Amino acid sequence: MEKFSADIIVIGAGAAGMMAASGAAQTISSRLTSQTAGEEKQEGSGRVIVLEKMPRPGRKIMITGKGRCNFTNVKPWSEFSGHIHPKANFLKPSFFNLPPEKMTEYLQANGMESVVERGDRAFPVSQSAADVVDSLLRAAKKAGAEICCGKEVCAIEHTEDGKFGIRCSDGSVYDCRKLIICTGGLSYQATGSTGDGYGWARQCGHSVSQLFPSLTAIVPKGYKRESSEQKEYDGSPWYEGTRGHIGRSTPLSEAGSALCGNQLKNVSVTLIIDGNPVQTEFGDIDFTDGGIEGPVGFKISRRCVKGIINGSKAGISIDIKPAVSPEALSGRLMSLWEDISKDRRSAGKPYKDRFRVLLGKVLPQQLIPAFVKCNPGLDHKTLAKTLKNWKFDIGGFVGYERCVITAGGVLPEEFTAKTLESKLVPGLYFAGEVLDLDADTGGYNLQMAFSTGYLAGISAAKAL
């Protein structure tokens, strides 16, 4: 049985874990450099080890943004904080310790140039997520951290002498003075996010709030065929209830097939819970093989999923023409209809053909068959009302197998915001998605992981 000792051990080599390793190793290196000559070092002094269960670090980063990796958002805190859930205040010390501009400079210093695109979203110039992972790994190793892959942690304990004992599935054993848990959430479990950190948190006396998928596809009723996947969830024991989960692989219905592949740009979407409008967002939505996604679909998914899990009825209303008032739209459509009816090319044509010409003037051609199928009885008199209020009842959502982020997690109130150290267990730190902090799409979630990981690493090293 192999035994190893370190000052600091980080569990998880994702965004938070690699930044924790860098922050810890840099801080220790700086202090060791200033040690007086000849001073005897303790066993394990200066050693930072990262234990990662997967064959290589940063697996989830590699698929972020469809492989492009929107790694941060350069908005100032006053705007950034509005995209954080459920409470942004806990993140504030981490954010100001490593704000987006410093994160961008940090990656540049380690070989990665970046570019800022629409919505203040920052990407690698190469448009490759691999460059983000390589830069993070390069920085951690340069600082002196050891990255050990293929090390699945199966147990941790807090020993009587104040240290932490860690056992891996391959039989190796580690001990350390400070432990940082950066295991992520439950989303995209194939990347290694299987909820391990939640169990260890509870084992150490910490509370874990309700967990649920966020930034995920919401599925209209009738969009998918009936399937057993709607009644069972085979993902994780941390999935709290099966109500509303619809597996992404569930086949599309006829209506879903007609909608899939369409995109609506610059629309307004209102989320309705138990008959009450609770959230309205403006932007783009995509109809995919999962359901309704895209920037606006993702943005409303958090509240929608939570409502469904808690037993509420959810629906959405899409305003395809938000810039035009109902009266103005109705007048414009009636004018178009008169023009079409008077056009000699329409002479003798059935109503259905003339109505399709009208639809072609206000909707993308590809969307028309699905729009008509979803709105039986539609005619030129009711078209304006339907364009302003296209309703869908939401039957469920895609779960952890394909959601971007896990909402809920280890309660931040049980940690010191300025250090991320546990208030219950001295020397224990949590960072990243495992905490009850999540955000909208647009680079906010990765920046939260970077900032919290870095602060946890620095804090752990300073506390040695």
The tens digit of pLDDT for each residue in 191-220 reads 989 999 999 999 999 999 999 999 999 999
What are 166's strand-pairing partners? Answer: 156, 174
Q: Which residues of 408-429 are buried (b: 16+ CB within 10 A; e: fewer)?
A: bbbbbebbebebbbbeebebbb
Q: Which residues make beta-bridge pairs with 371?
A: none
Residue 62, token pair as written in the block: 């590699």
Q: Which of 452, 454, 435 is nearest to 184 (CA)?
A: 435
Cα distance between residue 358 and residue 235, in whole Å? 47
Query: For residue 413, which of 438, 430, 397 has the smallest C-alpha distance?
Result: 430
**How many angstroms separate the CA atoms of 20 and 14, rounded?**
10
Average pLDDT score over residue span 84-99:
98
Residue identified by tokens 């000559």 is: 37
CA–CA dist 435, 443 (Å, integer): 17
Q: What domains can you pick out in the chain, each with its CATH number?
A: 3-209+408-462 (3.50.50.60), 213-406 (no CATH)
Task: For the chain, give percent helix, strand, coil, nearest 5.
Answer: 40, 25, 40
Q: Beta strand pairing status for 276-287 and 292-293?
A: antiparallel
**265-323 pLDDT, tens digit each:** 999 999 999 999 999 999 999 999 999 999 999 999 999 999 999 999 999 999 999 99
Nearest in space to 301 (alpha carbons), one of 324, 326, 273, 327: 273
Rounded to an integer, what distance in angstroms lies between the CA atom of residue 227 and that of residue 246?
Answer: 8
- CA–CA separation, 85 vs 106, rounded Å? 26
- DSSP code at position 441: S
Alpha-carbon span 226 to 245, nearest angstrom: 12
pLDDT for residue 232: 45
Tell me, what's the pLDDT at 233? 47
Report d(CA 81, CA 115) in Å as an integer. Answer: 22
Task: Find tokens 């370190």 and name the residue.
Answer: 6
74-99 in b/e form (b: 16+ CB < 10 A) is: bbeeeebbebbbeebebbebbbebbb
Whether the bond into 376 is cis, omega within 30 of 0: no
Check the CA dihedral 239-244-248-249 and report its sign.
positive
Cβ–Cβ contacts within 10 Å for residue 261, how many? 13
Asked if residue 189 has pLDDT above 90, the reply is: no
**Residue range 321-363, pLDDT digits in tens:** 999 999 999 999 999 999 999 999 988 899 999 999 999 999 9
DSSP conformation class of 83:
G
What one-letter code names the amino acid at 284? D
State mean pLDDT over 435-458: 98
Residue 182 contacts residue 11 (beta carbons within 8 Å): yes
pLDDT for the residue 39: 53
Average pLDDT on 416-438 reads: 98
Partnered with residue 10 across adjacent β-strands are 50, 180
Contacts of 53 (CB under 8 A, 6+ apart): 150, 151, 152, 153, 192
Q: Which helix (H) or strand (E) holds 6?
A: strand 3-11
What was the pLDDT predicted at 346? 86
Residues 396 and 423 sit within 8 Å (Cβ to Cβ) = no
Beta bridge partners of 6: 176
pLDDT digits 0-9 by tens, 212-271? 999 999 999 999 997 644 444 444 555 555 689 999 999 999 999 999 999 999 999 999
Q: Strands 314-319 and 390-397: what pairing?
A: antiparallel
